[in-house]
Structure formats: structure tokens, C-alpha cells
Amino acid sequence: MLSSRQRGNLAKFFFDSAKLVLAINVLGPVVVPDKSHLSVVVAGFFAVIGFVGIGVLLDREVEL
């Protein structure tokens, strides 16, 4: 099992990953509009939701 410090660090990692994916997902179509696809944007938002969900579960100390 993970200690509370490890769990906190892992939750922070997932929150930071979600922020990074969201930034790429939002800025990607703006920077290169001809290369963006709707499926990639939708998949990016689902990835952000997943990362935030895992981070919340770890932050609340809920067992996965």
C-alpha cells in the first residue's frame, strides 16, 4: 500500500498531468488549426477527466 505522502505525490502528479493535457488540448488547435481533429480533442478531454478523477480519488484517500 501507499503511504499518505506517496499518495499525495501521486495525486499531484495526476493533477499536473491533467493540466498539461488540457493545455495541449486547448492550445493545439489554436496553434495548428489544419492538423487538429475533433476525435483527438474529444479524447484529450476524456483523458483530462480520467486524470482528474484518479487524482481526486487518491487525494481523498479512497482505495482504487
Indicate whether 64 belongs to any domain: no
C-alpha cell at 23: 493545455
Domain that holds residue 50: 4-59
Report in angstroms the alpha-carbon separations of 47 from 3, 18, 27: 26, 7, 16
Instruction: Find the helix packing angle between 4-31 and 38-59, rounded to 10°.
Output: 160
Indicate whether 46 belongs to any domain: yes
How many domains does the chain contain in total? 1
Indicate whether 18 belongs to any domain: yes
The 10s digit of each residue's pLDDT in 2-43 is 788 888 888 899 999 999 999 988 888 888 878 778 888 888
Residue corresponding to grid cell 481533429? 37
Predicted TM-score (pTM) of this structure: 0.76
